[in-house]
Structure 1
Amino acid sequence: MLETMQKKDADYEMLKTLIHKNLGFNCEQYKDSHFKRRIDVRLRATNSGTYRDYVKLLQSNSNEYPELMEALTVNVTNFFRNPEVYDVVEKEILPALIKAKGTGLKSIRIWSAGCSIGVEAYSIAMLLHYLLGNDFNKYNIKITGTDIDKDSLLKAQQGIYSGAEMKDVRPAFLSSYFVKEGNNFIVSEELKKVTQFKKQDLISGPKMNGFDAIFCRNVTIYFQKELQEQLYMDFYNALLKDGFFVMGKTETLIGPSKDMFRAYNSKERIYQK
């Protein structure tokens, strides 16, 4: 039995090596339980009984790699997900950022980390446009969405969404910020011009800084504890003074950052530098 387990572990390690080599996806950053759950989706879909069977499949059929990448990075997401968080963002966080800019250079920089298909970045852009109204173009606004999955980033850049992703968009925003084409909704150019999307590995990629607010929700739960600690400090350092950090409802600050951030709204997991 021990020998069988060792073989299984060796096959799993071989699979991780293949994934890292061919997808550039660093498996060691993720909790094993999460990672195995995602891989098991593809084992079932391909009728692979073991990790070894799946390794053989990957070696003989490179078309499986895009399917695997999607399984590893898939996120259930839609505009204004967790509306209670966006309620605080709309009524308190963004107005505070706007007020803090005063009369000088009115530059607002926001980072949507682990942005998936871009709905969070565009949700923030809608709220900013709504709050600023005719003053929107007086501000230099840049909302940067980053992710490791190029297919998700491509969808974000295209800004074309299905009805399911639109379910929490208020009617006034639907008519103001989207063009309906068949069953799809296309983001307006007004929002696209203040958003940008790029590939970025949160752990090993170059560090970013100079942000008024960072949103990283339901991303760090998949990372090992040590990497969570590192990430939260990276976010702290990437924020300007009094900048806001918005995390997922099931996530908790750990490590040095928990003594450095101050809680702004603990219930909604919003913190301030």
Structure 2
Amino acid sequence: MLKTAEKHATKEDTDFIMLKSVIKDRLGFNCEYYKDSHFKRRIDVRLRASGAKDYGEYVRILKDNPGELDILMDTLTVNVTNFFRNTEVYDIVEKEVLPAVIKAKSTTSLRSIKIWSAGCSIGVEAYSIAMLLHHILGDNIRKYNITITGTDIDKASLQQAQQGLYGEVEMKDVRPAFLKKYFVQQGNHYQIIDEIRKMAHFKSHDMISGPKMKGFDIIFCRNVTIYFEKELQEKLYMDFYDGLNDNGFFVMGKTETLLGPSKDRFKPFNAKERIYNK
């Protein structure tokens, strides 16, 4: 019995490795960076839905049914997200972080503000930041050259971000005054007004293996790195550190923690809300 169990476990491991290889080849999604526990939970959703009894059978389904690849990509990159998620974080961003950046830039001739929303999903974080900047600056916003860049590897999410059209689920934490000022209701959906939509642009970028991005005043990467292995988290946090201008801000997720060299490089700005200073 023991030998049979060991043999079965070995076949499962082999099939799982083969599945990860197929996903990398067909989708360009490198599974090796993700914690196996998280990755298997997402994969198991599709095993149950497709009726596959094990990883080996699911590999055959992927090879025979190209449509399953698209569904799997959605499953692997799905994020539950909404505008102003974790409102207490945005309170500090609105009252302390953005005013500090604006004050620093107001003494320069270019008045350029660059912000990166890394792992932006459907764009709600980037637009939340844009609304706050518009709210703080008012008519003075024309005096600043503001660039908000949202990046992700999921093309479907990026398309929705560019469209700027959202359902009621994403709207639950939008304050009434912002809802009235920055959205146009279209049936059960809400369209971001053009003035805010033009402040953000979105592009496909792999923060793990893509080109390094630099020159930012604020980098937001929230609730993304928790799915990665510890060594990769350490690397990414240093990439974000290097990607910031001096005195720039890094905003991470409430359940995430700085690891490795970044712990000594970043200065806590508001440790409770996971906001740090370069």
**Alpha-carbon displacement from aligned partner over 1:48-99 (angstroms, at most 9, x marks no partner):** 1100111111111110011100110000000000000000000000000000
Deviation at 1:46, TM superposition (A): 0.9
1:68 is matched with 72
1:106 is matched with 111
CA distance in 1, matches of 2:169, 2:8: 44
Runs of 5+ consecutive residues of structure 2 not aligned to the other structure: none
Among 21, 28, 35, the alignment partner of 2:32 is 28
SS for the counterpart of 1:63 is helix
Query: 5 Å matches for 1:155-170?
Result: 155-170=160-175
SS for the counterpart of 2:146 is strand
2:212 is matched with 207
CA distance in 1, matches of 2:93, 2:153: 26
CA distance in 2, matches of 1:168, 1:208: 30
Structure 1 position 261 matched with structure 2 position 266 = yes
CA distance in 2, matches of 1:164, 1:9: 38
CA distance in 2, matches of 1:58, 1:127: 43
Structure 1 position 19 matched with structure 2 position 33 = no
2:158 is matched with 153
| Misfit runs of 4+, over 6 Å | none
1:92 is matched with 96
Deviation at 1:190, TM superposition (A): 0.5
SS for the counterpart of 1:66 is helix
2:51 is matched with 47
What amino acid is the match of 1:60? D
CA distance in 1, matches of 2:203, 2:43: 25
Among 108, 121, 127, the alignment partner of 2:126 is 121
Structure 1 position 272 matched with structure 2 position 277 = yes
SS for the counterpart of 1:264 is strand
**Alpha-carbon displacement from aligned partner over 1:6-40 (angstroms, at most 9, x marks no partner):** 11111111110110011000000100000000100
1:229 is matched with 234
Percent identity between matched residues is: 67
Among 35, 42, 57, the alignment partner of 1:38 is 42
SS for the counterpart of 2:160 is helix
Q: CA-atom RMSD, angstroms?
A: 0.6
Structure 1 position 131 matched with structure 2 position 136 = yes
